[in-house]
Amino acid sequence: MKGSILYIEDEFFFANTIANKLSEHGLEMDTAKNGTLGIEALKKKKYDLVLLDLILPEMSGFEVLEQMKADPATKDIPVVVLSNLSSDEDKKKAKSLGAINFFVKINTTPNEILAMVRNIVAPPEHKVS
């Protein structure tokens, strides 16, 4: 199955929980614990999707998103924000910078994240009846 994912998240428990859930279902997972390491990982490997927290040490998720979308090598990688920031302003800013979706971590289960990721990196085949 296609599905190489980078999760940029500084909260170890959450990153580990999501990485394990997605790995169990055949998705290749890498994690980065801050924005700087996330950008470095993106320079070394081609990903099908980036999951991105916004509150990160060294470089915010907003800055990561700006850098990704400004770089021809990474601008087309879909980015889904998983953050505990939940204001409409934060959601609008993330989407204006290029995020395709925004989930509030505390309101989203690992199974919901798995379903969303599968829909992006391995959408179901369209069958003609």
Tell me if 128 is assigned to some domain. no
Q: What is the pLDDT of residues 60-87, one digit of tens each?
A: 999 999 999 999 999 999 999 999 998 9
Tell me if 93 is assigned to some domain. yes
Q: What is the pLDDT of residues 11-36, one digit of tens each?
A: 999 999 999 999 999 899 999 999 99
Does pTM top 0.85 for this prediction?
yes
- Cβ atoms of 89 and 45 within 8 Å: the answer is no
In this prediction, residue 104 carries a pLDDT of 95
49-52 and 79-83 beta bridge pairing: parallel
Residue 114: CATH number of its domain: 3.40.50.2300
pLDDT higher than 50, residue 129 = no
Tell me if 126 is assigned to some domain. no
Distance of CA 37 to the CA centre of its chain: 14
Tell me if 129 is assigned to some domain. no
pLDDT higher than 90, residue 2 = no
